[in-house]
Amino acid sequence: MEPCPTFDHQALLELAATRMPFGKHAGMRLVDLPEPYVVWFHSQGFPAGKRGKMLGIVYEIKVNGLEYLFEPLR
């Protein structure tokens, strides 16, 4: 049996609370950004740094249908 992957709960809470700092969706939580926008952003390239990594995680969550993970955190 494979071990369960470890999970950084603090990182998930931070991701759920972080807001988009610029653009059309400024002020919106990253996890609430429209999927087409996140997919477009992925095709353009996410910004460098922590915010870009967070957007990459949001992209993976959205394209894999895992948005329900954030429901209890909203």
Flag whether 4 is in a domain: no
Could you tell me the pTM of the whole model?
0.83
Helix residue spans in the chain (DSSP H):
9-17, 35-44, 50-63
Flag whether 2 is in a domain: no
Flag whether 51 is in a domain: yes
Note down the domain range covering 59.
Answer: 9-73
Q: Is the pLDDT of residue 56 over 80?
A: yes
Looking at the structure of the chain, the number of domains it has is 1
25-53 burial: b if 16+ Cβ within 10 Å, else e: beeebbbebeeeebeebbeeebeeeeeee
Summarize pLDDT for 13-54 with one digit per residue, the tens.
899 899 999 889 999 999 999 999 999 999 999 999 999 999
What's the pLDDT at 1?
A: 64
Flag whether 3 is in a domain: no
